[in-house]
Structure 1
Amino acid sequence: MDAAARAVRTGHILDLQALTGRVIKIVKAEVRLGQLLPLDDPARDLRIAENVAAKVLRQAADAVTGAWAAACRLTPANDGTGVRATMRLITAVDCPLPERVHEVRRSVFHAALHDLALPLTAVDITVTDISEPEPGPGLGPGRGLGPAVGPAPGPEPPGHPGLPTGGGA
């Protein structure tokens, strides 16, 4: 990219169409990364791209039986030293929703801490659809039983040391 910029400045334009294509490709790749989020390191200089961290946290939610992450959005919290996760979840109705949401929240906090060293301060979860407990062929997450059931209830119950509470739900 630097060589191409020097060639343009000096008037030795290479293939302008190829150069434009490369610039657009680089810009699109940067946009897909999302914002850079802090990791929990002593110097506070390590960062991770939002889309990479969100992928790991969605996988942690999906690891809970009967739960599927529909979306995960990460935003800076605590003056940029922490991260807040907002997830949309599809869940089976084979157990009470608060229990399932609690399991998902625990799994997401665990992955954030142990897999990423991401200083997660809260995991807000909204259940947006429900699904059959064990989907058959041709069924799966998103082919649920009905519309959103609203935000899942509140913070973590006491007695789970090391887990921050989830903000809204």
Structure 2
Amino acid sequence: MKTILGIIMCFGIFDAAHATVLDGEILRQNGQGQFVKLDTDTSFAVGADTFDDDNLYAFDEDQNIELQTSIGVDIGGVNGAITAGTVVASHYVFFDSLSGIHIGTVLFDAPILGIAAFQDTMGATDFLANTSVKYISTELRGLEQGDMVWVDDEDPNRLWVYWAGSSPGDYIRVFTEKSPGAFMM
């Protein structure tokens, strides 16, 4: 049985620019979207309706970083935190639809440790972004009421999303264990 966490509700690289979000898919939606893994070697902006389509997006942020201090998470962790000394890989997952609902998955190359799903936890972990991506409308990040995210009980590398998109969209940061294919920072 999958654990669904209501409204509370990304690794390795074979060289410095390649990735560890392995794959994803949209299983059901009322649109024509698909899963898209974005390449952070190319600059782009995320937030404030910059995409406005039916796709489910993910991209890798900092990889294999040893945390100097504990970080708070909204899902997972131990007592709502990932402890200092843990090596994590960070990933951003989002849906920036004009309006629509979809159910989908994102697969990572290492088990998911925790998820930042609200503005406070996302803002506190922005130091793990370190990409050429421009994050805009950061005060509106996170999930909206009724959105759900959960880790697959049978595959801890798989994230499930059930999101109803509207402006400005749904945004989360996913932390995984050390990526076997990424560089250590």
Q: TM-score, normalised by structure 2?
A: 0.24
Q: Which has the larger radius of gyration?
A: 1
Q: Where is the helix percentage greater, Structure 1 or Structure 2?
A: 1
- Higher relative contact order, chain-length normalized (CA < 8 Å, sep 6+): 2
Q: TM-score, normalised by structure 1?
A: 0.25
Q: Where is the strand percentage greater, Structure 1 or Structure 2?
A: 2
